């Protein structure tokens, strides 16, 4: 071993002895000392405390919300059949109109009107028109802000979902949950800061890219939880492993990893691996407890519809989402719909069959989540977001049938709780619901609002990568939707 190699792990005195002393060696030792070389070397010979990268961090300003529950209606629910009332379309069924659309079938300049297939009624003190698809959510309109002028950059599922989740139509960027855990950490170090729960029919198109941490350390990526069985596969230790042995093994590995990390502080992959070992160990008891509904009373189970076949799965996942919020998880995303075709809200063929199925599975659980959070005093600090990657067109996609193509020009989402005004509708689409015309909103405005309500400045929260200060909302200044903020 050369003298150069043997300097590592030596004190200043040992360094001078190995180099033979002298003014040059003394000067070099001084410079190395000022750079912290000897402090790191000495520390590498001893145990170093584990610093959790998910430890709670202070927000930029006082937050209105502490957690986010994003109810993602994968496939694109039809806004004009749910919450965006278009009375002028009544009686126009089958008529050909000149309307510019852009969806899976490309650009079109006209088509056959498919009038709304469900009746609308007014609800709440605000008098909000809601279709019969959502009779239970309709009871909570006074707590909801409806965003009727949402727009996105792509009418294609994969890229539109990436935009809704990460702010970009291309893969490789951190998801919104990653940005929140990077900016705020987690108040419960025994659970992930970012949890995803998928539909039993499968994951969405683009898969794990939708909850990836992108160019950030893997520490901030989403963790997929299951509502049935073990919440995370292969989390439990082997049944024949004696008590205490696993903790000893992990401690030994962590000591070696931490020593290795001292001279490689910029190695995010290594620090993420260290954090993952510790988090996985702690989750062995915390995660099963969080998804265990045995402590929930029968009234709560029934309220969410978790005791009925149609609503059981989404109802259970909504209860788990509430339980995760109670335990300090920052961002929880629930997917309604998975895989392809009518396994999700992508109603290209039979609109009625598709939306009856998916609204029927989610309406009661979503309403129960809002009611349960409110009765427990948690809605004020929990931001609930509902919507898909885009909406659907007012015209039929095919010569026959009621199916609608994708619509990124204008669609509806809603927000509730977390300092959001209730009983209001912001923005409008044209009389056919083809595109946003009043107060158009971009996905970036939605993201900026979520970050703002969580106490983060959307135009300040950044991560340096590729020579740029990257941001969820992009390089240009983006305003939150101030009109819906209480």
Q: What is the pLDDT of residues 318-358, one digit of tens each?
A: 999 999 999 999 999 999 999 988 999 999 999 999 999 99
In terms of residues, how long is the chain? 486
Could you tell me the pTM of the whole model? 0.84
Query: What are the pLDDT digits (tens) for 162-186?
Result: 999 999 999 999 999 999 999 999 8
- Torsion angle of C-alpha atoms 416, 422, 426, 428, degrees rounded to 10: 90
Mean pLDDT of the chain: 87
Contact criterion met (CB below 8 Å) for 53 and 217: yes
List per-block mean pLDDT (blocks of 10 residues) for the chain, which spans 486 residues. Answer: 42 47 49 46 46 84 98 98 97 93 89 96 98 98 98 97 97 97 89 94 93 93 84 64 64 70 63 61 69 93 97 97 95 96 94 98 98 98 98 94 96 98 98 97 98 98 95 97 98
* Both tokens assigned to 77: 């629910």
Instruction: Walk me through the domains of the chain, giving residue ranges and CATH numbers.
Output: 67-239+295-484 (3.40.720.10)
């Amino acid at each position: 071993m050369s003298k150069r190699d043997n300097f590592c792990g030596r004190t200043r005195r040992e360094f001078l002895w190995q180099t033979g002393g002298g003014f040059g060696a003394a000067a070099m030792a001084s410079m190395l000392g000022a750079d912290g070389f000897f402090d790191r070397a000495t520390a590498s010979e001893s145990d170093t405390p584990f610093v959790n990268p998910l430890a709670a961090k202070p927000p930029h300003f006082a937050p209105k919300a502490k957690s986010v529950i994003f109810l993602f209606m994968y496939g694109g629910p039809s806004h004009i059949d749910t919450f965006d009332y278009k009375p002028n379309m009544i009686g126009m069924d089958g008529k050909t109109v000149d309307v510019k659309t852009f969806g899976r079938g490309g650009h079109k300049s006209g088509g056959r009107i498919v009038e709304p297939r469900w009746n609308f009624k007014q609800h709440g003190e605000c008098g909000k028109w809601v279709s019969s698809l959502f009779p239970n959510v309709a009871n909570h309109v006074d707590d909801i802000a409806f965003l009727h002028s949402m727009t996105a950059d792509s009418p294609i599922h994969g890229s539109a979902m990436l935009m809704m989740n990460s702010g970009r139509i291309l893969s490789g960027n951190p998801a919104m949950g990653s940005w929140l855990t990077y900016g705020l950490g987690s108040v419960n170090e025994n659970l992930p800061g970012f949890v995803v729960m998928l539909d039993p029919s499968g994951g969405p198109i683009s898969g794990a890219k939708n909850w990836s941490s992108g160019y950030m350390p893997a520490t901030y990526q989403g963790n997929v939880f299951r509502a049935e069985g073990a919440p995370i596969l292969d989390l439990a230790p082997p049944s024949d492993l004696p008590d205490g042995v696993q903790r000893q093994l992990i401690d030994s590995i962590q000591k070696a990893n931490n020593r290795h990390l001292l001279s490689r502080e910029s190695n995010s992959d290594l620090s993420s691996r260290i954090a993952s070992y510790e988090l996985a160990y702690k989750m062995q008891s915390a995660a099963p407890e969080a998804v265990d509904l045995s402590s929930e009373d029968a009234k709560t189970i029934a309220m969410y519809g978790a005791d009925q076949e149609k609503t059981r799965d989404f109802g259970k996942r909504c209860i788990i989402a509430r339980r995760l919020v109670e335990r300090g998880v920052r961002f929880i995303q629930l997917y309604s719909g998975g895989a392809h075709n009518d396994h999700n809200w992508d109603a290209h063929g039979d609109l009625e069959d598709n939306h009856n199925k998916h609204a029927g599975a989610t309406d009661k659980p979503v309403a129960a989540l809002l009611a349960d959070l409110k009765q427990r005093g948690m809605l004020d600090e929990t931001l609930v977001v509902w919507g898909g990657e885009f909406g659907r067109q007012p015209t039929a996609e095919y010569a026959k049938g009621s199916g609608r193509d994708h619509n990124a020009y204008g669609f509806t989402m809603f927000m509730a709780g977390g300092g959001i005004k209730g009983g209001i509708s912001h923005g409008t689409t044209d009389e056919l619901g083809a595109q946003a015309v009043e107060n158009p909103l971009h996905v970036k405005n939605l993201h900026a609002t979520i970050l703002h309500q969580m106490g983060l400045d959307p135009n300040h929260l950044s991560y340096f990568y590729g020579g740029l200060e990257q941001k969820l909302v992009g390089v240009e200044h983006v305003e939150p939707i101030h009109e819906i903020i209480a």
